[in-house]
């Protein structure tokens, strides 16, 4: 006779093992980190989430750009770093919703003196973490990642704000970041026939122009005169050095031009008042103003951030307050207008947000997993502390 007594089954014990993927810079390249068109698409998706509010960043206001370690001018401790040009460490945490639904942090050290050692000014890494447990999902090289998303942000702006028949693009500042900006912009503007490269170092301008000719097969030349660099441009991408803020005169910038500001820039008040201004995300800029007030030296703070010239005019009641202003996410989502006429001059102001790094790193991680790229690292099989 068969025993019909039911056998008790034991529930499976969840594994405590944690593995995560490490992606070196060559791995990132193989996984598509430099795919400018795909990065623009991803950043456009992030802008839409920003417009809906489906994100978090640091600080009580959830909009802080990040936490910086800055060094004193002098120190009694022999090993403590002291201040130098663009010398700092920064952590940029955030959560991004939508299909990404993940937390992450970009961490970097910056020192202008790195260039004398054959190193980039900034050295960056990116970490993605599970939103529930905090477990690491991936750690990756992030210099190319950061450059790609920095370029893709004005790429999205070019798609939504520039006249689609734009034929002349001006590149103001010919370093690697503006090269990334130009690359992204070129994925969106299909009628471009000429690129003018301006830099205070003529050899850098001419070098980028040579790359444009080789890459796109269109006319390109380099100049070291700012007026000649921008006066005929339909689209101007600004990513010049923070150490040399650029001044663009009102009468240099023609009707219908779109100025994509990813680095310090100032101009005549008449141009700033005449142009339609679109911010990357207005709550981010409100957080910058809060920090400026909290610093006790608002004017000094404004002088060190990209949005400073605009914040001064807002404080003076000359420009609309930030809550009433337009963010690119609003334009992407169709809740506010950007350009309203082919004759509008439009300024887009981008100050950088960790959620773009998170979105693009997540997309690159998906590619890496699909292609079997990267090195699996083990955090633990069983945690020593329960």
Q: What is the pLDDT of residue 14?
A: 80
Average of per-residue pLDDT across 337-365: 96
CA–CA separation, 308 and 152 (whole Å):
23
Give the mean pLDDT of the chain: 93
| Residue listed under structure tokens 């893709």 | 152
Q: What is the pLDDT of residue 2?
A: 47
Residue 386 predicted with pLDDT over 90: no
Distances (CA, A) of 200 to 77, 240, 241, 294: 38, 9, 10, 35
| Residue listed under structure tokens 């028949």 | 165
Residue 352 predicted with pLDDT over 90: no
For 151-172, how does the pLDDT look when each residue is reduced to its tens digit (9 = 90+)? 999 999 999 999 999 999 999 9
CATH topology of domain 20-146+355-375: ornithine cyclodeaminase, domain 1 (3.30.1780)
The structure tokens listed for 372 are: 């079997």
Q: What is the pLDDT of residue 9?
A: 56
Band (303; pLDDT cuts 50, 70, 90): confident
CA–CA separation, 266 and 289 (whole Å):
18
CA–CA separation, 92 and 302 (whole Å):
20
For the chain, what are the domain ranges? 20-146+355-375, 151-352
Q: What is the pLDDT of residue 154?
A: 97
Distances (CA, A) of 360 to 59, 371, 381: 22, 17, 29
Superfamily for the 151-352 domain:
NAD(P)-binding Rossmann-like Domain (3.40.50.720)
CA-derived radius of gyration, the chain: 23
Residue 1 predicted with pLDDT over 50: no
For 183-233, how does the pLDDT look when each residue is reduced to its tens digit (9 = 90+)? 999 999 999 999 999 999 999 999 999 999 999 999 999 999 999 999 999
Beta strands in 242-290 (DSSP E): 246-248, 258-261, 265-267, 276-279
For 66-83, how does the pLDDT look when each residue is reduced to its tens digit (9 = 90+)? 899 999 999 999 999 999
For 317-329, how does the pLDDT look when each residue is reduced to its tens digit (9 = 90+)? 999 999 999 999 9
Q: Among candidates 190, 161, 195, which has minimal Cα distance to 178?
A: 195
CA–CA separation, 346 and 348 (whole Å):
7
CA–CA separation, 21 and 162 (whole Å):
39
């Amino acid at each position: 006779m068969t025993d019909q007594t039911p056998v008790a089954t034991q529930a499976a014990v969840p594994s405590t093992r944690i593995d995560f993927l490490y992606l070196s810079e060559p791995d990132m390249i193989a996984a598509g980190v430099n795919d400018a068109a795909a990065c623009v698409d991803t950043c456009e998706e992030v802008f839409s989430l920003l417009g809906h509010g489906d994100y978090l960043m640091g600080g009580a206001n959830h909009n802080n750009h990040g936490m910086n370690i800055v060094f004193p001018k002098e120190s009694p401790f022999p090993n403590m770093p002291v201040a130098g040009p663009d010398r700092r460490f920064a952590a940029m945490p955030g959560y991004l919703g939508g299909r990404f639904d993940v937390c992450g942090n970009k961490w970097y050290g910056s020192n202008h003196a790195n260039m004398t050692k054959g190193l980039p000014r900034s050295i960056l890494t990116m970490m993605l973490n599970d939103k529930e447990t905090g477990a690491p999902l991936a750690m990756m090289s992030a210099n190319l990642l950061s450059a790609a998303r920095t370029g893709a942000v004005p790429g999205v702006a070019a798609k939504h704000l520039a006249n689609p028949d734009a034929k002349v693009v001006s590149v103001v500042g010919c370093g690697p970041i503006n090269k990334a900006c130009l690359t992204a912009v070129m994925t969106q503007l299909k009628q471009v026939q000429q690129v003018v490269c301006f830099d205070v170092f003529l050899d850098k301008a001419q070098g980028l122009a040579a790359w444009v000719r080789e890459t796109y097969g269109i006319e390109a030349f380099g100049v070291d005169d700012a007026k000649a660099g921008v006066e005929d441009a339909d689209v101007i991408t600004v990513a010049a050095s923070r150490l040399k803020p650029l001044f663009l005169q009102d009468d240099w910038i023609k009707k219908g031009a779109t100025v994509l500001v990813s680095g310090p820039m100032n101009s005549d008040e008449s141009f700033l008042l005449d142009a339609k201004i679109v911010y990357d995300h207005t709550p981010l800029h409100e957080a910058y103003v809060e920090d400026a007030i909290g610093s006790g030296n608002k004017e000094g703070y404004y002088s060190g951030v990209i949005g400073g010239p605009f914040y001064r005019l807002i404080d003076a009641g000359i420009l609309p307050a930030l809550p009433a202003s337009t963010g690119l996410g609003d334009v992407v989502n169709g809740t506010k207008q950007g350009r309203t006429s082919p004759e509008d001059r439009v300024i887009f102001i981008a100050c950088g947000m960790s959620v773009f790094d998170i979105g693009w790193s997540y997309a690159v991680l998906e590619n890496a997993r699909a292609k079997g790229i990267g090195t699996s690292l083990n955090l633990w099989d069983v945690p020593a502390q329960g």
